[in-house]
Every structure is written in structure tokens, then in C-alpha cells.
Amino acid sequence: MKAKMAMVETPNVYCLISGAAEGNTPLNAFDNTLLEAGVGDTNLMRMSSICPPGAQEVTRDEIVLPAGGLIPLAYAHIDSQTPQMWIASAIAVGIPEDPTLPGVIMEFEDHTRLEYVETIVKQMVIDAFEYRKRTLKEIKFAGVEHQVKKCGATFAAAVLWYK
């Protein structure tokens, strides 16, 4: 008897989230950014950077993520233990003019201010659309910066979900 294989349903919504926090260790700081972003009690499944065709943007409050659930997302993350250093993470989603085509999600992080990280991640989206020879309708963006006190981290993500 053959076992049936289940296909994973393609997400039809996405939401952009971010968080910045301190912790006693880099892992604690990262965990605290996840809590701040609203995904701290889930298991993250890092995905490559494609937004499904026709996926709609929703707010974090519009989706119910199950505690302990496997949550697909594309994300940027950085941490530092250098006091006074600025760190930033950003996510950008390129929406195509043609809704039957997939969008592109780009993520970027650096030891710098958010303004620079935002410029880079948005240019990454523009480049990805040029490489694909697709017309870009708009760019959705979320990012966060943090000045480290002891051990800080930042996190920005596009959560892909089903509604």
C-alpha cells in the first residue's frame, strides 16, 4: 500500500513584521525580537524569497498563528554585542503589475542605520524584477533599527500564511 503524500498549500496572504530587543546573549536577544514581532511562540521555517501570485498583504492581527506551529517566512536578522553600535534589519516585497506572476521578497541586515538598509533592500527588489523582466507595481517594506546597549538584535520578516 502506497502512503499518500500531502502537498503544502500555497500561502495566499503575507504580513510584514519586525522587532528589536536586548538580551543577555545573542540568542536571547533574537528570541526577544521574535516576541516583539509577534512570532516568538512559533517555529520559524525560513523560506526562499518568493511571494505567491495574488497573495494579499494583511496585518499581523488578521492571522492566527498557532503556538508551536510551523510558520513559513523570509527574514533578516542581525545581532551585536558592541555597545552603542547601530544595527538594522529590513524586508521588502515587490508586487508585480501582473497578479498572476509571483512577487519577490528580499531581506537585508547590517551594522548600520535603517535608512541605508532600506535603500539596499528596495534596490534588491528592483534588481530582482529587472532580472526577471517583470514590471514592478509597488514595493512593500518593513524594517527596524536598534542601538545596542549590551546585546541587541533586530528582525524583519514576511510571514507567508493561509487565510
Known catalytic residues are: 43, 48-49, 107
Give the CA distances from residue 99 to residues 41, 76, 95, 112, 135, in Å, rounded to whole numbers and listed in that order: 33, 26, 8, 35, 11
* Beta partners for residue 142, in sequence order: 91
Count other Cβ atoms within 10 Å, centred on residue 130: 10
Short-list 144, 135, 72, 147, CA closest to 104: 135
Q: Which helix (H) or strand (E) holds 161?
A: strand 152-161
